[in-house]
Structure 1
């Protein structure tokens, strides 16, 4: 019995096989971790600097308006570009552009009167560079590990991102509060430089198969491919429904201050989901034995909504933190299996464009969800907005799964796209 119990626990541990087996995966993982950590430090410093210079909440929020158009346009174009050019070169080129942009942000903080317009320009330029870079980075992951190791590789990537999500804002807050935004932006700059140097050490990865130059036709081809495959369409729609209907983060200040009467513990609300997601990542060894991945996405997203709704009923902040942590774990599981489906079934020559589309869904769903939560809270109450959002998420995801039944029946062992990619990788 003891041996059996030990075996069961060993199956829960995060699978390190991709780390041991692939040099380029290690490079991607370390560079991405450093890049994300530095980016989260800048994520804290930028709105802080804007507010210090303007005293306006609208000025801070306007950065989102400045970056949304570049995100949409260049996210789609970056995906088409990733399917045409050598991906290492694209990572290094966009990394160098981000180094220049970050250096401008540091230089601006050293001016006697930092220029507000330059902050917005740098924000827009950084959104362009990031949108061009991310599809190539995402498209590389299935190229640097074995096909069967993709679930473990996705889980490891998620784990390092969650560490950055926890440590980055904490470090950024300490830096801006103690030594100022110059040091915070400098840390971000160092992280980008280090990540770009690591990208340069990757092997050469030109897209396989027939490629075409970036164009509206190429972008349209990617969108058409996504819509024709109901399993892929479901991965986008389920996540967007879940995030749009049950995104509570914008309500955390009011929830902690006015409802739960614990303003000093507001930071724990923001950290709860990341902590839950990290716990799920650390026990993700079981994921490689799941084959009905569509069902896992549906059930995990419904669990996200249910946990958010229960957290909205919390009698105290610790109850809320616990259920937001459960929500974060469920969201991580959903994201893990969505990424596995993408990476195990999308042909390499389409992977960049589909990564660009995924990036848009990942970004626009939460943005719309925050707006929905704010409007409902103003019309009713904070509790009503959170609880109703969670309940609507469960119903909405269930309805989406019923509409796209192929997604519920998806089986990685028999799906024609997964079988084809497995054969291609074996032949390669």
Structure 2
């Protein structure tokens, strides 16, 4: 079927550009392994402490190092061979994961070792993400960038859907050491995709990494109204609409099912992302990316609000067995929560397709690393701020309150900001303007 008419995902980036195909396969497999470690660390910290706030602090502790690494990684990507930068950062990610596994096998892991190695891992991975995103537009023509962004949604869907579910099962059956070790094995695939790339020096004027280079990037962003607003919209959605840090406590005390419920809820988000990517033909062909970002984030906010309502119903005892616990889950409300989270994953992925395409099309190559660095900070840092919001507010109120309030805030803030920016709504992918 013609890719221009099909409702299904456009796979031409994989079939026509072997270098991109290898990079995509490596990123998908290594991302799947990374999710095993992320979820296993969350569960292990909750085992150590029994405290949702402690779980949220995993993300918060890594925020500043990850922000600095993402920004500096963008400077490096605009100054040196992007392939080499990505390979070095991937090596650090690999070693930190191997150390987490080794500590688990020797049974000398501690709360602080999990925090420290998670921080190193997230910082190095931030550089990998930044550099890899700057590489993609060099491998593909501009008209295939939305399709490449949709394929990234498949990657996210696979790794976040299968990863947390598999992590929950592995932790519950064979323990933490084996779970971390599987990540080490899968992460090695990332090197294949990076190693086989050609040298990719930045095009145009090469900026020496440093404060002046960063100031140039921020100066460009101040003039790039469409790029700047998409950053603000994404931060809004991730700050008030990230209930992931609540999942261990939700599975333990509110919906029941324990680690399995944590995996199911996390996987539901990814299932929505995966389905929306598989059916992304019309999405990738839609040219009005600013309008698409606005509508998808509003749908995202509504779905997070609905998840808060599901948790509130659970708190009131709706559909619950006599005693909710690890072996007595509230099946009806777990299914309802998973359904609305799947909608949130689909909406977030549609927004990501348009945001990524706008970034890669409208920003010149000489500036792309720095802007991707800021973009990576937004994408990866937003959920960590959201974890702090959700964990802190839930500690002082109830598990259902952060997503319920957050959904209302997302819808209202996004509607106001976009209404004040008519140029964003008028953005046309055929004539990209940063």
User: Are 1:325 and 2:321 counterparts?
Assistant: no
> Equivalents in 2 of 1:60, 1:384: separation in Å?
18
Aligned to 2:138: 143
Aligned to 1:412: 429
Aligned to 1:77: 72
Aligned to 1:352: 369
Aligned to 2:265: 269
> Mapping of 1:217-366 within 5 angstroms?
217-252=212-247, 265=261, 267-314=263-310, 317=333, 318-366=335-383
Q: Could you say if the C-alpha distance between residues 105 and 223 of structure 1 is closer, same or farther in structure 2, counting changes exceeding 3 Å? A: same
Deviation (angstroms), 1:231: 0.3
Q: 1:161 aligns with which of 156, 161, 183?
A: 156
> Equivalents in 1 of 2:362, 2:387: separation in Å?
32
Cα shift readout 1:213-259 (whole Å, capped 9, x = no counterpart):
11011112112211211000111011111222333334446666776
> Equivalents in 1 of 2:236, 2:40: separation in Å?
31
TM-score normalised by the chain length of structure 1: 0.87
> Equivalents in 2 of 1:9, 1:103: separation in Å?
44
Q: Could you say if the C-alpha distance between residues 272 and 22 of structure 1 is closer, same or farther in structure 2, counting changes exceeding 3 Å? A: same
> Equivalents in 2 of 1:54, 1:312: separation in Å?
25
Deviation (angstroms), 1:28: 1.1
Cα shift readout 1:262-310 (whole Å, capped 9, x = no counterpart):
8775543332221111111110011232111100000110111122223
Q: Could you say if the C-alpha distance between residues 370 and 225 of structure 1 is closer, same or farther in structure 2, counting changes exceeding 3 Å? A: same
How many residues in Structure 1 have an aligned counterpart in Structure 2?
412
Q: Is contact 1:159-1:281 (8 Å) kept?
A: yes
> Mapping of 1:72-221 within 5 angstroms?
72-111=67-106, 113-114=108-109, 117-221=112-216
Aligned to 2:18: 23
Deviation (angstroms), 1:322: 2.4
Deviation (angstroms), 1:385: 3.7
* Worse-matched range after superposition: 297-306 or 183-192: 183-192
Q: Is contact 1:242-1:396 (8 Å) kept?
A: no
> Equivalents in 2 of 1:410, 1:111: separation in Å?
55
The runs of 5 or more residues in structure 1 that have no matched partner are: 1-5, 418-428
Q: Is contact 1:18-1:149 (8 Å) kept?
A: yes
Q: Is contact 1:51-1:57 (8 Å) kept?
A: yes
CA RMSD of aligned residues (A): 2.8
